Amino acid sequence: MKRHSPLLTLLLAGAFGLCVAPFYWLAMAATQENSDVFSWPPKLLPGGHLMENLQGLQDSIGLTRVLFNTALVAGVQTAGAVVVSVLAGYAFAKFEFRGRNLFFVLLLSTLVLPDTVMLIPIFEMMMKLGLIDSYQSVILPGLVTPFGIFLMRQSLRSMPDELLDAARVDGAGELRVLWRIVIPVNRPVIAALALFVFLGGWNQFVWPLIALRSPDMYTLPVATATLQGLVTTNYAQVLLAAAIAAIPVMALFLVLQRQFISGLLAGATKE
């Protein structure tokens, strides 16, 4: 009964190709000499200049330092945002308290407000605190993610109350209930949330571009963009930087794709 339609398969393979082909080209271009990036026809096979380009990136932007900055910022942001979201999501999903609905609505309403509205006051705040050009300035604003709190609330709501009450009756304190039951049961959604936040933190651009001043503090997207702005841009290096930025995210996604997609779907379908 299940007959395959070659035409439909072909069409989807075409869509797949359009999505993936640029990455293939990127990987190849990143191994060329700068002058070969713009050869016609484009070079579609590995070029053998990978190490040279890596060294070039190390000299021009301090690749290892920049990667460390990016990983630190994204990592701390992820850990913090997940903790904040799980705690608040649990409270919104499973407790009655005064002001619950009001605060939840306030929180959600900021989802539709463009982030750009907040840029200038946050910049001034960081200036006053002397935090411009520090890790804190980039990390702190990312710790509260209304989306994360929303996602956790949606997912925790579907957890049976009996499960929690049973643990409480058995004498578990609230922290233990959270740690031993809520978190393990919801591990897939938490993993998805962590991926979302990490992705956002790793790729964020506008705010770090504003908040960071010294090349030593740059994250990879900022460093990449400044590299491209130079008069004599070495495109092989810029493209290598773009490829390097993509690698950890892709790897994480491949490992955790099941959680990632189901998390995405949880946010999209549960109203």
Partner 1 sequence: MSLAPSEHAPAAAPAGRGTIDQTGRTRTGRRRLLTPTSVPYLLIMPAVLGFAIFKAYPIVASLWISLTTGNGADRHFTGLDNYQRLLHDPLFWTALKNTALILVVQVPLMLGLALLVALGLNSTKVWLRPLWRLGVFVPSLTGLVAAGVMFSVILNRDAGLLNWVLSLFGIDRVNWLGSPFWARIGVVLVITWHYTGYNAVIYLAGLQGIPQELYEAAKVDGAGPIRRFVSITVPQLRPILLLTVVLSTIGTLQLFDEPYVLTGGGPDNSTLTVTMYLYNNGFKYFDFGYASALAYALALIVAVLGLLQVRLMGERK
- Residues 196-255 interacting with partner 1 (rule: CB under 8 A): 199, 202-203, 205-206, 210, 221-222, 224-225, 228, 235, 238-239, 241-243, 245-246, 249-250, 253
Q: Which of 64, 68, 124, 158 binds partner 1 (CB under 8 A)?
A: 124
Please tell me whether residue 179 binds partner 1 under the rule CB under 8 A: no
Please tell me whether residue 166 binds partner 1 under the rule CB under 8 A: no
Min separation Cβ 104 and partner 1, Å: 9
Min separation Cβ 26 and partner 1, Å: 5
Please tell me whether residue 105 binds partner 1 under the rule CB under 8 A: no
Please tell me whether residue 159 binds partner 1 under the rule CB under 8 A: no
Torsion 165-169-175-179 (CA) sign? negative
Taking the C-alpha atoms of residue 211 and residue 208, their distance in angstroms, rounded to an integer, is 5
Q: How far is CA 171 from CA 33, 185, 203, in A?
A: 67, 19, 44
Q: Which of 12, 163, 166, 183 binds partner 1 (CB under 8 A)?
A: 12
Taking the C-alpha atoms of residue 150 and residue 160, their distance in angstroms, rounded to an integer, is 18
Min separation Cβ 128 and partner 1, Å: 9
Taking the C-alpha atoms of residue 176 and residue 167, their distance in angstroms, rounded to an integer, is 9
Specify the stretch interacting with partner 1 by CB under 8 A; choose among 50-58, 59-67, 122-130, 156-164: 122-130
Q: Which of 48, 101, 113, 230 binds partner 1 (CB under 8 A)?
A: 113
Tell me, by CB under 8 A, how many residues bind partner 1: 95
Please tell me whether residue 163 binds partner 1 under the rule CB under 8 A: no
Specify the stretch interacting with partner 1 by CB under 8 A; choose among 14-22, 55-63, 158-166, 184-192: 14-22
* 3-state SS assignment for residue 55: helix
Taking the C-alpha atoms of residue 138 and residue 37, their distance in angstroms, rounded to an integer, is 34
Specify whether the CB–CB gap between 256 and 193 falls below 8 A.
no
3-class DSSP string for 142-162? HCCCHHHHHHHHHHHHCCCHH
Specify the stretch interacting with partner 1 by CB under 8 A; choose among 48-56, 58-66, 139-147, 185-193: 139-147
Q: What's the full length of the chain, in residues?
A: 271
Min separation Cβ 243 and partner 1, Å: 8
Specify whether the CB–CB gap between 237 and 56 falls below 8 A.
yes
Specify the stretch interacting with partner 1 by CB under 8 A; choose among 45-53, 61-69, 108-116, 186-194: 108-116
* 3-state SS assignment for residue 131: coil
Long-range contacts of 180-185 (CB under 8 A, 24+ apart): 182/86, 182/90, 182/156, 183/86, 185/159
Of residues 52-91, which lie at the interface with partner 1 (CB under 8 A)?
Answer: 83-85, 87-88, 90-91
Min separation Cβ 52 and partner 1, Å: 18
